[in-house]
Amino acid sequence: MSRTARVERITKETKVLVEIDLDGTGRAEIGTGVGFYDHMLHQIARHGGFDLTVRTVGDLEIDAHHTMEDTALALGAAFDQALGDKAGIRRYGSATVPMDEVLVRAAVDLSGRPYVVHDEPALAPYIGPVYPTSMTRHIWESFGQAARITLHVDVLRAARPGGHPDAHHVVEAQFKAVSRALREATAIDPRAAGAIPSTKGAL
């Protein structure tokens, strides 16, 4: 069974195309116009083991908000579409990822019920010229809503002796942890024999 999806989202503010193969090899072609965001979406492909294409044209002359939000919404919708009825999947996944001084835990339930909990320390306002760190929470909220999943992301440790948290490390560790959790949750469970992993019979 092919677990692929193609989602196009077009508004007056953005034009987004997302293509995904959940059973890929980590290949990625990413272009949003926001360099650090592109780098983070590459993490989802590589560490999730998904083939991922993302092409976004947005109103970056205003700011990065619409571009990042609408890309996250389209990505979530693509995950939801590619999962189909979710028969035979593991459903739950979690990962704890270190990145130098940072430690992040992510847990996901492909529940069909959108709910996102996100906890991170105060960070520098920008990574690179156009990635506002305040958007990371909104990315997870938008992605979780469109994917119809429960997602918890917790930064367990971020302090550097004598300095503020490194925003690059804090955000990148989050994307890597979520990617690893999604990899586990979307994987086919050989013991499930194609059953939907819920006593309700639907997700």
24-77, pLDDT tens digit by residue? 999 999 999 999 999 999 999 999 999 999 999 999 999 999 999 999 999 999
Closest CA to 106 of 27, 166, 37, 185: 185
Domain extent at residue 112:
2-184
Residue 196 within any structural domain of the chain: no
pLDDT score of 159: 84
Tokens for 190, please give them.
């050989």
Tokens for 54, please give them.
């993302």
pLDDT score of 37: 98
Residue 190 within any structural domain of the chain: no
What's the mean pLDDT in 172-186? 98
pLDDT score of 162: 73
CB atoms < 10 A from the CB of 170, how many?
23
pLDDT score of 1: 75
Report the b/e string of 94-133 with b at 16+ CB within 10 A: ebebebebbbbbbbbbbbbebebebebeebeeebeebbbb
142-161, pLDDT tens digit by residue? 999 999 999 999 999 998 77
Residue 198 within any structural domain of the chain: no
pLDDT score of 160: 78
CATH number for the domain harbouring residue 87: 3.30.230.40
Per-residue confidence band for 6, with pLDDT thresholds at 50, 70 and 90:
very high
Q: Structurally, how many domains does the chain consist of?
A: 1
Please write down the HEC assignment for all residues of 40-90.
HHHHHHHHHCCEEEEEEEECCCCCCHHHHHHHHHHHHHHHHHHHCCCCCEC
